[in-house]
Amino acid sequence: VILAGTPTLTYTVEYTLDDVWSQTFDPATATWFPFPVAALVAATANQSGLLDRPVTGIRLRVSAWTQGTARLVIVPANGPSA
Nearest to 41, CA basis, from 33, 30, 29: 33
Residue 82 has pLDDT above 60, yes or no: no
Average pLDDT score over residue span 44-67:
92
Those residues whose C-beta lies under 8 Å from the C-beta of residue 66, and which sit 6 or more positions away, are: 8, 9
Residue 80 has pLDDT above 90, yes or no: no
Average pLDDT of the chain, as a whole number: 91
Query: Whole-model pTM?
Result: 0.84
Summarised one tens digit per residue, pLDDT across range 29-51 is 999 999 988 999 999 999 999 88
CA 30 to the chain's CA centroid: 14
Q: Looking at residue 24, what is its pLDDT? A: 97
Query: Within a 13 Å sphere around the CA of 73, how many CA atoms are in the beta-carbon half?
Result: 10
